[in-house]
Amino acid sequence: MEEIKDKENNKNKFIDEKFDINAIDKTFTKYRRGQMFDGVVVIKRDDGAIFNIGGKNDAFLPKEEVDDYENLKIGDRFKVVITNSKNSGEMLEVSKSMADGIVLATQNANRLKLGSKFSFVVTDTSKDGLYSKLGEYSVFIPISEISHLTKDTRKVVGKQFEAMATEINKDKKQIIGSIKLLEDKVKETNEHLFWNSIFINKVVRGKVKTILSYGAFVDVGGVDCFIHISNMSYNRIEKPDEIIKEGEEYNFKVIEVDRENKKVALSLKALQESPKLIAIKELHVGAIYKGTVIKILQFGAIIKLENGATGLLHIKNATDKNNKQIYEIVKIEQKVEVEVIDKDEENERVSFRLISVLQ
């Protein structure tokens, strides 16, 4: 009798376990947002498809998630990502485009090599560094490798950066990178290109970094150059910020290159027409102008015209007599009339012939 009773108890126990709803429920997959699954299209509707990913819940794939929805067929298999735990129809919502992006990002991560550059968007931060994802790979940037960021790393969540891969574990799908190393490499490359291509009179584009009382530092292709206040304008200025502003970009002309000491001098003034050149351009060869003697030389005199142009009156163009000295013909501050006999705009030179001494 006891043997029969034990058999009956075991039978009841088996039946209870077999039909335990809670135990059965545990055998189904637990779904959460962001999970990726393989699945198959089981029903196609006008607004989307019913997609089976296994387990006890079907999923809904919106029509907009498939590029060529008209050609979607029942039985098509592909990956999807859960975007919503339940929609109004009590079905999971899934995304094919999101899954395609993860697959592509994973493929790119699989091809990544040590020392290679990669882009990432910060998803989380801690006192230890930055966190992100490249498809199925986790990405970590140690705090020591983000030197160019602000100390408050919380401000960078959602922003995109570039880094160099320093460790890759494909089995665990982990990538460790360095923003600092990539910056150093880019800077080294930029400097090499800069020094191989810089030369005097070259026009470069640069951003003003720091303004000082006597000039400013300008970033040209990642290299710091300098412009002195005297090279900013032909007009007299008291402060550099009368002409330039920090953070703004301008064209500059290179006026000095010191490769040994890694120094480059820039000029804004050199890109402008000087007041002297503007005045020279107004003159016409053969025309007569009034001027003043402003300097006596051994071989002639410097004449300044009323429009501000200056030029040379050579002794041979001031008299026909060979034994005459220039100071015997004209004197400082004397008013004269002269004819323009030659002008060289490129070198800003003008030659005169004396017509008459007015006083």
**pLDDT computed for residue 17 by the predictor:** 44
Under 8 Å CB-to-CB from 301, ≥6 apart: which residues?
293, 295, 312, 313, 318, 326, 330
Q: Taking 80 as the threshold, does the pLDDT of residue 75 lie above it? A: yes
Closest C-alpha to 266, from 215, 334, 318: 215
Q: Length of the chain, please? A: 359
H or E element in which residue 259 lies: none
pLDDT at 56: 64
DSSP three-state, residue 51:
strand
Q: How many CB atoms lie within 10 A of CB 61?
A: 28
* Residue 311 to residue 302: CA distance in whole angstroms: 6
Write phi, then psi, for 281 (nearest 5 degrees).
-65, -25
**Residue 228 to residue 213: CA distance in whole angstroms:** 9
- Amino acid 352: pLDDT: 96
Q: State which amino acid sits at residue 92.
A: L
The band of 24, judged by pLDDT with boundaries at 50, 70 and 90, is very low
Tens digits of residue pLDDT in 238-296? 999 999 999 999 999 999 999 999 999 999 999 998 889 999 999 999 999 999 999 99
3-state secondary structure of 324: coil
Which residues have a Cβ under 8 Å from the Cβ of 269 and sit 6 or more positions away? 230, 231, 232, 233, 234
Give the position of tokens 């950066």: 161
pLDDT at position 232 is 95
Q: What letter would DSSP give residue 340?
A: E
How confident is the model over 313-333, as pLDDT tens digits?
A: 999 999 988 888 999 999 999
d(CA 130, CA 153): 8
Residue 295 in contact with residue 311, Cβ under 8 Å?
no
Q: Does an H or E element contain 100, and which?
A: helix 96-111
- What is the token pair recorded at 271? 């890109």
Domains of the chain: 36-101 (2.40.50.140), 112-180 (2.40.50.140), 198-271 (2.40.50.140), 275-357 (2.40.50.140)
Strand order of the β-sheet with 160-169 is: 117-121, 160-169, 174-178, 137-142, 129-134, 124-126
What's residue 38's pLDDT? 85
Q: Would the CA dihedral through 279, 282, 287, 289 be positive or negative?
A: negative
Owner of token pair 């000082």: 212
Average pLDDT over residues 200-207: 96
Neighbours of 113 (CB within 10 A): 7
For the chain, how long is the longest CA-to-CA vector?
157
Contact 75, 39 (CB under 8 A): no
Mean pLDDT across 49-65: 82
DSSP 3-state helix, strand, coil percentages of the chain (rounded to 5)?
25, 40, 35
